Amino acid sequence: MLLATKPSRSLLREAEFIRLLRQSCAFAKLPRHGWNDGTRKGLALMLFAIDVGNTNIVYGLFDGPRLVHQFRVETNRRRTGDEYTVIVRQLLAMHAVSPPDINAAIIASVVPSLTDPMHALVRRNFGVEALIVGHGIRSGMPILCDNPREVGADRIVNATAAFERFHTGLIVVDFGTATTFDCVSPKGEYLGGVIAPGVQISADALFSHAARLPRVEIAKPPHVVGRNTKHSMQSGLVYGYVSVVDGLVDKLAHELGFACTVVATGGLAKLIAPLTRTINEVDDNLTLTGLRILYERNQE
């Protein structure tokens, strides 16, 4: 006699994934629309912006110029395009967003292996072709570097958004996997910058290479002088990076020779920026806003 058995959790998860994937595939037969066609005829712009970073992928949904939703997903190079498709559909469903309502998309990626899966995700979910930020895109910002092709897409996006907002000389500090400092002239020219190890990378290196040091949360300690190992490590990570930021901004501003507004963005900006003396503004949505601006400039 065969006994009925309860399905395992892994089988249930697999069944749910297959169900959602089949649902996603229903949109694969939607008509294709090139990004240079603007929006689907008769519809207002509903733009899906994708910022693929080394640590996180940030999705933003714009209704015209207004950012109405954003989602953050861990970057996992082993995930397939189908898996990312399911994740995005679930996130949109949580906010009652219907995929056919999205009629435009743009992607900035610093992870080459994930650019094609994101492009396929856009096709499958929304039936449109995404604009991909890269060499040849109209940014409206001259890139005065030795090799403009080497400049990361996210850095150009951030610089474009910051200059559009402030119209002055800029140093843009992005606290990502790497901490980047990008310099923009008062004329709106991208001049180059600095790439330093990120706060999390430094914390991971400290934990990995020092046998007796524990992994700690990146958070402001109660005092600069740590009275235990945890607070001592946090002080080094947080106040150490405060000093890195202030020191580099001072040197950059001196070398540039013009007044600069210093704008910070990225996951740890709200933690580090208030402790510095040089950062003037924090904009959490700088990269997503820059993607919207670039999309609009490439429809003209």
Bridge partner list, 106:
49, 131
Please identify which residue in the block is written with the tokens 């080497």. Answer: 150
Query: If we measure between CA atoms, which residue out of 24, 33, 35 comes closest to residue 291?
Result: 35
List all residues 6 or more positions away from 159 whose beta carbon is below 8 Å from its beta carbon.
141, 170, 172, 182, 184, 190, 290
Q: Exactly one of 82, 101, 154, 283 is catalytic; which is it?
A: 154
- Residue 193 main-chain phi, psi, to 5 deg: 170, -150
Query: If we measure between CA atoms, which residue out of 128, 139, 144, 157 comes closest to residue 39?
Result: 128
Q: Both tokens of residue 66? A: 């207004």
- Running DSSP on this structure, what letter comes out for residue 33? B
Q: HSE-up of 276 (CA within 13 Å, CB side)?
A: 27
Contact between 264 and 175 (Cβ < 8 Å): yes
Residue 204 designated active-site: no
Residues noted as catalytic: 154
